[in-house]
Chain A
Amino acid sequence: MKPKVAFFDFAGCEGDQLQIANLEEDLLALLGQVEVVNFREVMKERSDDYDIAFIEGSCTRLQDEDRLKQIRKNAKIVVAIGSCAAIGGINSLKNYKDLDTVKKMVYGENARLFDSYAARAIDAVIPVDAYVYGCPIDREDFLQVVKSLLLGKKPDTPTYPVCVECKKNENVCAFERGQYCVGTVTRAGCNSCCVNEGTICWGCRGLVDNPNENSHKEVLIKYGQTVDDAINKFRLYFGWQEAKR
């Protein structure tokens, strides 16, 4: 029997589910291997009977925790897809602001009607079995993770920084170009796609395991950047991870 899979979304842009829709012909091949029972963005039918749950988006309010716990209860395997779900992502930028002030600014006297708390990764609420990183996720990366899960293997996740891939691609280092880049401490797996397109690594895949902080400091000093610069850049995607550390 084909494994049943379900897709769910919390606070996010649904760009990761869109990447899955963008698999086009590969999506049809994937549908030959699994039975999709829940995918609100593309299908009307829904069911609570599933083996693998893919979750996109951060948890940003108490009321969503119950829904997450229910998904955990129903699923054998929970996969966090995209930066918001896997590492808290860009939503955690709001965690540096005073929440009550922000809420009152938005909804005025109705502020109490609308619930919100610090944005967090899914694994802050329920245990997560596998991660697909990136903002948005990479389609190939997603397929690799799904293949591993279907074969009962643990997905392979790079434990080295984006710099490794960037060097292989022979890009001119962003620091050499007078720009600031967080590829030195960001988890690889994207094939340094943003630097390849002429920009910098923004850090969307999150901090690599055991980042080499001393070496990163040396780079900062060499190129005349301050620790404040670094912290500000890290906050773009690493906010929730930083708070956890």
Chain B
Amino acid sequence: MSKSKQNFEVNVHYITRVEGHGNIYVNVKDNVVENCEWSIPEAPRFFEAMVVGRSWYELHHITSRICGICSIGHTLASLKATESALGIAISEQDLKLRKLALHAENLQSHFLHLGFLVLPDLMGVGSVIPLASTNPAEVKIVLQLHRLANEMSNLLVGRTTHPQRLIPGGFSKIPSMSELTAIRKKWQDSIPNIQAVANLFKSLAAKLPDFKRETEFIALTDPNEYALYDGKLASSETNAVPVQDYLSFTNEYVVPQSTAKWAKHLRGSYMVGALARLNINYDRLSPMAQETAEAFNLAPMCYNPFMNSIAQLVEVVHSVEDSIRLINELEKAGLKTQPDYNKPEIKVKAGSGVGAVEVPRGILFHDYTYNNAGVCTRANCIIPTNQNHGNIQLDMNALVPQIANKPQKEIELTLEMLVRAYDPCISCSTHVTKINSDDHKSN
């Protein structure tokens, strides 16, 4: 820390290269941090109120619109909640296809974050646009991988954003085995490109700030696989519990500077996302993914939030390797075809259900109650970014004094990089509300 008296102000209004609207305000006077605030001015959208009064077969379509980037994850969490409430089972084949859909989204989102949002900071530019002329080979590789992830999403769910084929009880349409083996071949052929991206990040890794702050990590966990689609709710500090008990973990509360709610468990805040998953489930990563983590000296417990981007890189490798494995299994079992416009037989009844899925930014919960006509009477959704807001704030509180003697520009960039490392999805996080059927007059 510098001996001279430090005075500075950082005021980032609408931080760029993140999803949604967030502000950073820091004010330091005579070496004393007077203000340090991460605030969310995003317009709230009230999804949980919007879905009350709507039918069980529409909820996944509506809640998909909470987020353009993680629309597959929202759809899957929504379907799992509905299926649990109505007692609907899905086939082993559909389970594998859904896991593939989730990998597709993880790949789409992680490539977007790493290539378009994080890389410019490490290369010292404002966006990926100038990189297209200075580093055309690297940009071409990132675009190729991102396009392939989109192609995979299209194949599994019929869209790149806001899926269509995912419906209660399974799929309205499934890909053919030859389409699946074709996408498998493309991923196998892309492994050198993924390694090239990993090498690029390796060469820039020194630009990631060396900062750490102990915190709690929360993610799904499963003894048999790196949990993404399903599992128990785990913390880095306590025993795992069934996802139905999620409210004992999330404890949301309102803060005045944010239209999004915040969350805490055992400490002042906790972190979800790729780094939380890696810290909790490291030994179930695919072999090549573990090698990638080792190349960056990334192993549990890692308390540097800037390493979340590297954890995403590790997950990219895992998702590719695990997708290849899942397609191999589907091929071995023989893909059962299903009729066009498939519509599983479903018996509607009253009930409640919770669905939890690991989406690119962390654990996502949907929790619904339906009446005996299958109309939603209560909904609660807890989004990863909400769970991270408190952790971002506490990281900032710890980070600002450590970097206060740096030039103003560098302080500003470091704080922006911190927020970007969490890959926040702010539109998602301002969906908020809990509402009961008695409190409004919808049909």
Contact = CB atoms under 8 A, between A and B. Distances in A.
Given A13-B65, A102-B440, A198-B173, A45 B127 contact: yes
Interface in A9-52: 10-19, 21-22, 24-25, 28, 31, 36, 39-46
Interface residue range, chain B: 35 or more
A101 B117 CA distance: 38
Given A13-B67, A15-B71, A44-B126, A198 B45 contact: no
Given A41-B17, A94-B50, A198-B164, A177 B62 contact: no
A243 interface: no
A1 interface: no
B62 A93 contact: yes
A113 B44 CA distance: 12
Interface in B50-69: 50-54, 58, 61-62, 65-69
B434 interface: yes
A61 interface: yes
Contact of B143 (A25, A39, A42, A98): A25
B440 A136 contact: no
B44 A114 contact: yes
Contacts of A105: 49, 433-435, 439
A44 B49 contact: no
Nearest to A194: B164
Nearest to B139: A28
Contacts of A36: 129
A60 B167 CA distance: 30
16 contacts: A13-B428, A15-B71, A22-B160, A31-B132, A41-B19, A43-B17, A43-B127, A60-B45, A93-B62, A94-B46, A102-B49, A108-B254, A113-B256, A116-B46, A193-B159, A198-B173
A192 to B, nearest CB: 11
A21 B112 contact: yes
Contact of B16 (A16, A43, A228): A43
Given A42-B17, A44-B127, A172-B340, A16 B68 contact: yes
Contacts of A232: 443
Interface string B24-48: 0000000000000000000111100
A196 B161 CA distance: 16
Interface in B405-428: 427-428
Interface string B157-185: 01111101101000111000000000000
A24 B147 contact: yes
A222 to B, nearest CB: 19
Given A106-B432, A197-B172, A14 B43 contact: no
A109 to B, nearest CB: 9
B126 A43 contact: yes
A25 B136 CA distance: 12
B127 A97 contact: no
Contact of A13 (B126, B129, B256, B427): B427
B300 interface: no
A179 B441 contact: no
Contact of A197 (B67, B129, B164, B433): B164
Contact of A114 (B51, B71, B127, B259): B259
Contacts of B428: 13
A108 B434 CA distance: 11
Given A25-B143, A110-B256, A18 B50 contact: no
A64 interface: yes
B341 A28 contact: no
A89 B126 CA distance: 33
Contacts of A31: 129, 132
A183 to B, nearest CB: 14
B265 to A, nearest CB: 21
A116 B164 contact: no
Contact of A116 (B44, B254, B342, B442): B44
Given A110-B256, A116-B43, A14 B62 contact: no
Nearest to B61: A202
A196 B341 CA distance: 9
A44 B14 contact: no
Contacts of A135: 65, 162
A23 to B, nearest CB: 10
Given A28-B132, A31-B132, A40 B16 contact: yes
Interface in A150-179: 172, 174, 177, 179
Nearest to B167: A199
A177 B146 contact: no
A60 B159 CA distance: 27
Given A13-B67, A15-B68, A18-B68, A106 B433 contact: yes
A105 B46 CA distance: 10
A18 B343 contact: no
Nearest to A90: B65
Contacts of A108: 254
Contacts of A21: 112, 116
A44 B20 contact: no
B87 interface: no
Contact of A45 (B66, B112, B126): B126
B120 interface: yes
Closest 9 CB pairs of A and B: A15-B68, A198-B172, A43-B127, A197-B158, A44-B126, A198-B173, A197-B164, A93-B50, A13-B68
A198 B129 CA distance: 38
Contact of B49 (A94, A110, A202): A94
A186 interface: no
Contact of B66 (A13, A97, A107): A13
A24 B254 contact: no
A15 B161 contact: yes
B440 A97 contact: yes
B385 interface: no
Nearest to A95: B50
B128 interface: yes
B323 interface: no
Contacts of A179: 343
A194 B64 CA distance: 14
Nearest to B342: A198
B150 interface: yes
A98 B164 contact: no
Contacts of B434: 105-106
